[in-house]
Every structure is written in structure tokens, then in C-alpha cells.
A and B are shown apart, each in its own frame.
Chain A
Amino acid sequence: MIVAGCDVGSLSGEAVILKDNSILTYEIMRVRPRPEQTAQDVMIKALSKADLTLADLDYCVSTGYGREKIPFAHSSISEISCHGRGAHWANTEVRTVIDIGGQDCKVIRVDKRGYMVDFAMNDKCAAGTGRFLEGMAKALGVSLSEMGPLSFESSSPIGITKTCSVLAQYDVVCMINDGMEVADIAAGINKAMAERISKMTKKVGVRKEVAMTGGVAKNSGVVHGLKKVLDVDIVDLNGVDPQIVGALGAALFAQERAERELRK
């Protein structure tokens, strides 16, 4: 059985193709202007890696911001459930998932089967999201992937204005003008991110094991900061790219639904 999950977010789109409960191929790409375009492109790319076409799919579940607009998806499920499910598949010990996406941050608690039992999601403010981090990296003149390693060079992280990402970005510009060390600012940004996310995590309750998903999970500075504030280990996803976990979860739901339909 071949099924797929498609996650269209605000910054990137991902597709995962599953065959008999293992990952066949996947693809990540930057979003196009319209979600259906992103979905179409990323799915076809992923499928073509395995010489497949849309017609080969038994079932497809969409998730993410654009989930309701994907023409080839059979149904949609919120990315909150999908991230929980995907992370749990990658590492069955996982009970808490911290997902930091482009404009959202979510903390998801799952049961031993990988089904979501509780969650928290950031409010409107973008502070504590991928977009925030991206803006900061831009202000610092470094790439997103450099933010983590860079912050480890700092011995005294700088305090970043809390609450508003717009103000924080302004702060960063002022700091650079004041000649502060880029590493210290980067470390301060990562620390601020980690602190903000840790509050949401504590609200949902930290159950071991804890995993991180979403693009920001690739920022070692934030991961390290979270480990420190939450005083827990962040477990590894056994080689699964943290950025595809939402699409993976959607594919797992697709598999479940396809099986259910088969039984009918």
C-alpha cells in the first residue's frame, strides 16, 4: 500500500511517501504563493523520486495551514495531531513533542499509541516561531543554520526584549549598531526563544521522552537552550528529518484510513 502525507505550512511544504509503514521518499521545499501549488509541486517531486505519480497513491492526508485546499488529498488532519503521530512513529518513547514551525509553536502530548492527548499553541504573537528566528537571522546577517553554532561561541548571551518580535528585531538592529558581539546576540535570541517555548511546554506538562520537530529543531542553539530550561533531554528521531514529521504523521493517518476503507 502506498500512501502520502502532505504538510503545507507558512514557510515550507513537505511531502512524505510511505510504503508498508516505511518511508519511501520525501521532499521539502519553500512555499509557492498558493498552498495548492506548493502541495502539487512538493508531492510530485517526492513521488517522482520513486518513479510514482499521484495515481499510485492509495490515500493522501493533508495537514498544515493549507490543508483544506489540497485537491488531491482525501482528507485533512490538523498538524498538531500529525506532528504528535509522526514523532511518536520515529521514536516510540516520545510523549511530548515540541514543534516549532514558521509561524506557530506547538507543544503536543501524545499517548503510548502516538495519539494526541493535549496540546498548547502559541497565541498570535510571532515571537517564539520560525518566522521570528528567520527575521533575527536576517537582522544579524547570518543564515538560519548558522544561528545555532554561532550561539555556542558566546559566553554572555544578551537579553532580548520579550513579548514582541517586531520590537525584538528592532532591538537586535540597535545592538548591532552598538557594536555588540554577533555571537552574544545570537545566543540571546536562542535563549529568548527557548524560554518562551519552555513556558508553553510546562503548561502542557513535560512527559518524557521529549522530541522536537519542525525547522527550528535544526537550530542546535534553541535545542540546547530548551534542554537547559526544561532540564530534560531532547531525544533523537532516529534519523527522521524533524522538518518532515508533520507530513510523516499525515502519511501515517493516511495509512490508517486507507486500511480502514479496505476493511469496509
Chain B
Amino acid sequence: MAKPAIALRHTPTEGHNFANGVVSVSTAAPASRISLRATPLGANSFGKSLGLDLPKKPSGSAAKGGKFALWLGPDEWLIIDEKNQDISLVPKTASTQLSAVDISHRNAAYFISGNGAENTLNAACPRNLSLSEFPVGSATRTIFGKAEVVLYRTQNNTFRMEFWRSFTPYVWGLLLDAARDSNN
């Protein structure tokens, strides 16, 4: 019997790129992702294995060498390795202190960048995204219109937006519509 072919990975955001001089939207490369739910003990040990000190405060994040951990709740983190796609970050042996679930393909992501980025997001996101309230490194699970998203501010004018893949047409369409009204 012939060896099974290796299937190719296609993200739903492939080819999505937009810029209007005020804001640009680009697609994030395929990444590895983990949803981590853990006790404090579990979080510490998992952080060590990653080489990251997991954030403990609301809206907090930690990043190192292309890996980053976003605080989503008192026992919940979204961990992304954007340099290595399809490496499973799930520990080989089960721990009594945590749950690590591979969600690499559950999410897709865009980068929203530029002076109009905040306005574009605030068209449909009720969070206060001003630099003073949501400085670089802040992360939050919030909504963008009717889609649940995770926002992570990577630079003054750049946000990474993570969302469930099937919402791609909606999120993309809403970003483009919002981008048209981001210049003030």
C-alpha cells in the first residue's frame, strides 16, 4: 500500500491583506497554540517547560523568542508559538494540575496596524484600547461585533487579533468596513 500523502495546511485567512494608509490588516502565519487551564502550581511548572513566566494579572502577557502567553482568566492562558507551526505543546505525560489542549487550528489571526488601528477595533469592540489603559503587552478576551476575539497589543499601533476560524469571513468583512471609518 502506498504511503499516505501528507496533507497541506491552509488557514482560512490565507491571502487576506488590506491597507488604506491609516490602518492595515494582514494575516498571521500559521502557528502552534495551546489552551492552558491550570492551578497556580500547574501554571508555574508549565511556564518553566516553555521558558516563560506565565502572567498572573488580568490583561497580562509574557513573551520570549516567538512564544507568548496571554492571560485570559485566573486559570486560563492562551499560549502561542508563532515560529513553530504544528509542534504539539501538549505535555507527553498527564499532569494532575493542568489541562493543555492543542488549539493550533481552532484560531486564525490578523495583525491590525497603523494610526487607525484603535479606531478600527473600537468600531465593534467596547474595550478601552487607549495606550494608557491597554498598553503594549496587554491582552484581553473581548468581542469584535458578534465574534469573540482575543486582542494582544504587540506594539503601540499594532494588535494581534485571534478568533475562531469559522468567523473569518465575518471578522474580515467587519474589519474592512470599520477600517473605512478609522481616520479620526
A pairs with B? no
